[in-house]
């Protein structure tokens, strides 16, 4: 049992967001799974979003609500990555390739990589390249020849997270900046989502005022990730679910 269970209305909307994601996953499975690298990238991003969203609940229910600010910032990054993958539909598979291989491409440039690791990573990257159309394979091989991967995988197409988040119809970049501090170890981690920031007590405790903010924030970000994927894969077949959850989230304000 959690130490500080969520109120029933928060628990319900939290779980409904996961159910929305499950509907999309079930629709994907019924269609035969991901058919291209754009879809594979969105699939990986939604998986990470669900786990992060679920973790926010666990942290809040165990008395560590201030740390949820870091996870909600991570959800903002996940949302930005979704937008970067599919914003330009014609390039979604190539952007999916960039997203899925960014870590592997950085690993291949690591001077400490072992011969066995290099063989395995190279094979995985090559398998991913071969999933691209011929024209995109040329672009991918040019990318692989670069001396060092860019700091953000979506560069140079988008210079920074600000450029990506500016594409959202919501004023989300200001929220992104607000939550940057906790992610980078700033003083904001002690202030945001903390009912008593002056306290030096490090024991878990209830944060009744800020738990709703943390849960509503993570829920909204998960459903936005789901919305991007649903529109990309199914032309917004789940819009009614999305609109219902957003309406209920707005009622918490």
In a domain, 26, yes or no: yes
The model's pLDDT over 22-35, given as tens digits with 9 standing for 90+, comes to 999 999 999 999 99
- Write out the residue range of the structural domain in which residue 81 sits: 8-88+155-250
Provide the H-helix boundaries in 62-166: 68-86, 92-108, 115-129, 134-144, 161-165
- Helix/strand/coil for 109: coil
Mean pLDDT of the chain: 96
For residue 253, the model assigns a pLDDT of: 78
Cα(193)–Cα(183) distance, integer angstroms: 13
In a domain, 112, yes or no: no
In a domain, 116, yes or no: no
Strand ranges (DSSP E) for 134-239? none
In a domain, 104, yes or no: no
Query: pLDDT above 70 covers what percent of the chain?
Result: 100
In a domain, 132, yes or no: no
The model's pLDDT over 124-150, given as tens digits with 9 standing for 90+, comes to 999 999 999 999 999 999 999 988 889
Model confidence at 97, pLDDT cuts 50, 70, 90, reads very high
Average pLDDT of the residues in 190-219? 96
In a domain, 118, yes or no: no
For residue 170, the model assigns a pLDDT of: 78
Sequence-ordered list of residues with C-beta below 8 angstroms from that of 183, at least 6 positions apart, any chain: 69, 70, 73, 74
In a domain, 226, yes or no: yes
Average pLDDT of the residues in 101-109? 96
Distances (CA, A) of 37 to 48, 140, 174, 247: 17, 12, 30, 33
Question: How many domains does one find in the chain?
Answer: 1
For residue 168, the model assigns a pLDDT of: 83
In degrees, to the nearest 5, what angle opens at C-alpha 221 toward C-alphas 220 and 226? 95
Buried-exposed string 15-43: b where 16+ CB fall within 10 A, e elsewhere: ebbbebbebbbeebeeeeebeebbbbbbb
Average pLDDT of the residues in 157-183? 90
In a domain, 32, yes or no: yes
Model confidence at 118, pLDDT cuts 50, 70, 90, reads very high
Whether the pLDDT of residue 169 is over 80: the answer is no
């Amino acid at each position: 049992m959690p130490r500080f269970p969520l109120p029933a209305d928060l628990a319900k909307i939290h779980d409904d967001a996961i159910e929305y994601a499950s509907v999309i996953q079930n629709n994907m499975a019924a269609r035969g799974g991901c058919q291209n690298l754009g879809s594979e990238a969105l699939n990986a991003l939604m998986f990470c979003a669900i786990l992060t969203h679920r973790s926010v609940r666990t942290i809040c229910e165990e008395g560590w609500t201030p740390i949820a600010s870091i996870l909600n910032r991570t959800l903002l990054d996940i949302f930005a990555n979704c937008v970067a993958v599919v914003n330009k539909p014609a390039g979604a598979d190539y952007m999916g390739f960039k997203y899925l291989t960014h870590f592997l491409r950085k690993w291949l440039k690591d001077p400490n990589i072992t011969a066995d690791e290099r063989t395995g990573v190279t094979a995985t990257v090559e398998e991913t390249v071969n999933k691209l159309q011929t024209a995109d394979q040329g672009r991918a091989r040019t990318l692989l020849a670069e001396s060092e991967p860019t700091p953000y995988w979506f560069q140079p197409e988008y210079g920074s997270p600000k450029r990506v988040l500016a594409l959202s119809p919501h004023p989300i970049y200001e929220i992104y900046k607000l939550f940057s501090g906790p992610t980078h170890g700033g003083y904001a981690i002690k202030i945001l989502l903390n009912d008593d920031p002056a306290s030096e007590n490090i024991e878990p405790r209830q944060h009744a005022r800020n738990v709703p903010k943390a849960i509503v924030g993570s829920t909204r970000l998960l459903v936005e990730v789901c919305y991007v994927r649903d529109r990309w894969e199914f032309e917004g077949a789940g819009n009614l679910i999305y609109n219902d959850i957003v309406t209920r989230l707005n009622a918490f304000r």
